[in-house]
């Protein structure tokens, strides 16, 4: 089954279908939740940022792995005569 | 009628070029994965261990004693002690670079087994072609460096002078 949920622009995957947008929204919502959760337990700004950057990179990685397997192949346009 | 005979005569006397198919070795060398897609995923696979190793190098090698880098070690040490996510440290520093190496290697390496020579003396040739795709090669080298660093750390930690 071919899923065309995302399209690649460089190293970033952008959603093109509703399912892709849902996954992106879920990733962003989880990132915000993680930030609030870490901030409530941390003792300083740097403590918050260290943990948040690490988690943000992990979320980005998992998002990219999902997008990698559900990517739409770019259309090959015919050359103009 | 006369023209037709002349034409047929010309056509019969035409010299057909002698083409030996074995001399034409130009083939399309297909690879298993797309190089650009593999590079895009590879960047995300190595960025997390690179971030961690950057903190380590800044803290130890360059003596940048900032709380940021020191706290990174505490976090990684904390991961090992937390029951359900204790596998995360080795996964980041060992499994992700290996996956990056595999997908990027598959996108630039073409392997072929050919038979060469005459009918009686055919010998098999195993040829490996590596496409020069800079980003994929750089990602493979970075992943190898991460793996080497992790292995060196594990070996030095496990060796104790008795």
If you count residue pairs, one on A and one on B, with CB atoms under 8 Å apart, how many are there? 48
Contact A57 B48 (CB under 8 A): yes
pLDDT reported for residue B114: 77
Residue B75 · residue B69 · CB < 8 Å? no
Residue B59 pLDDT exceeds 90: no
Contact A61 B44 (CB under 8 A): yes
Q: How far is A47 from chain B (nearest CA, A)?
A: 7
pLDDT band of B52, cuts 50, 70, 90? confident
Residue B54 pLDDT exceeds 90: no
A51 neighbourhood in chain B, CB within 8 Å: 75
| DSSP letter string, A32-50 | HHHHHHHHHH-SSHHHHHH
pLDDT reported for residue B76: 65
Q: pLDDT tens for residues B74-113?
A: 666 666 677 766 777 778 888 889 999 999 998 888 888 8
Residue from the list A60, A61, A68 with its beta carbon closest to the beta carbon of B37: A68
Taking the alpha carbons at both ends of chain B, their separation in whole angstroms is 106
What does the alpha-carbon distance between residue A58 and residue B41 come to, in Å, rounded to a whole number? Answer: 13
Q: How far is B141 from chain A (nearest CA, A)?
A: 19
B43 neighbourhood in chain A, CB within 8 Å: 11
pLDDT band of B120, cuts 50, 70, 90? low
B66 neighbourhood in chain A, CB within 8 Å: 46
Tens-level pLDDT at each residue, chain A (81 residues): 678 889 888 888 999 999 999 999 999 999 999 999 988 888 778 778 877 888 899 899 999 999 998 888 766 666 555
What does the alpha-carbon distance between residue B154 and residue B160 come to, in Å, rounded to a whole number? Answer: 12
Q: Phi and psi dihedrals of A8, rounded to 5?
A: -95, 130
Residue A41, chain B, CB below 8 Å: the answer is: no
Q: What was the ipTM of the complex prediction?
A: 0.76
Residue B38 · residue B107 · CB < 8 Å? yes
Residue B150 pLDDT exceeds 90: no
Cα A12 to Cα A3, A40, B41, B137: the distances in Å are 18, 30, 9, 20
pLDDT reported for residue B72: 60
A50 neighbourhood in chain B, CB within 8 Å: 68, 71-72, 75
pLDDT band of B65, cuts 50, 70, 90? low
B67 neighbourhood in chain A, CB within 8 Å: 44, 46-47
């Amino acid at each position: 089954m071919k899923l065309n949920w995302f399209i690649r622009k460089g190293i970033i995957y952008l959603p093109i279908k509703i399912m892709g947008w849902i996954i992106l929204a879920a990733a962003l919502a989880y990132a915000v939740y993680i930030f609030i959760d870490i901030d409530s337990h941390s003792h300083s700004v740097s403590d918050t940022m260290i943990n948040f950057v690490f988690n943000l990179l992990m979320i980005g990685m998992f998002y990219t792995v999902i997008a990698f397997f559900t990517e739409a192949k770019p259309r090959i346009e015919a050359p103009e005569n | 009628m006369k023209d037709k005979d002349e034409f047929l005569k010309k056509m019969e006397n035409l010299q057909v070029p002698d083409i030996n198919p074995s001399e034409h070795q130009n083939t399309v060398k297909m690879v298993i994965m797309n190089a650009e897609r593999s590079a895009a995923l590879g960047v995300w696979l190595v960025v997390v261990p690179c971030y961690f190793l950057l903190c380590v190098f800044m803290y130890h090698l360059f003596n940048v004693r900032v709380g940021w880098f020191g706290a990174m070690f505490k976090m990684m040490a904390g991961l090992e002690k937390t029951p359900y996510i204790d596998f995360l440290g080795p996964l980041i520093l060992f499994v992700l670079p290996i996956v990056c190496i595999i997908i990027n290697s598959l996108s630039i390496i073409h392997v072929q087994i050919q038979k060469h020579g005459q009918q009686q003396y055919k010998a098999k040739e195993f040829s490996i072609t590596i496409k020069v795709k800079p980003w994929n090669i750089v990602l493979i080298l970075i992943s190898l460096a991460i793996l080497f660093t992790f292995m060196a750390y594990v070996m030095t930690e496990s060796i104790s002078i008795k």
